[in-house]
Amino acid sequence: MNTRQPIDGVFIESFAGGSHEAFADGWLARSRHRWRRLSLPAERWKWRLRAGALALAPRLAALDPPPRVVLATSLLDLAHLRALSGLDRRRRPPAFLLYMHENQLSYPRPPG
């Protein structure tokens, strides 16, 4: 991949609200690359984390032309998205990147 030329990518956010949306907006506004955006509304974050790939994979697979890079945030199961999209079976599969916006494993446990 020649990084001197702008890369065609897709930014995927399964929870487009609050700090998640602010990060996506900032990334897309400041990048020199060409990004398309796939997102789901900011609701039911636990469902988005576990099953958002089910809703987003068909949309990702339908993009024409297919992206060279897929950048997803941590409120999405990227392994499932990758498998369900079928992009790995293409002659030139995209690079898949995960941005850890926040990690639920590092949150303090609730009392009790």
What integer pLDDT is reported at residue 111 of this predicted model?
A: 81
Q: What is the pTM of this model?
A: 0.83
The C-alpha atoms of residue 34 and residue 63 are separated, in whole angstroms, by: 14
Positions of the chain with pLDDT lower than 70, given as ranges: 1-3, 102-108
What confidence tens digit (pLDDT) does each residue in 9-36 have? 999 998 888 888 888 999 999 999 999 9
DSSP secondary structure code for residue 109 in this structure = P
Contact 98, 38 (CB under 8 A): no
Q: Enumerate the domain spans of the chain.
A: 8-20+33-103
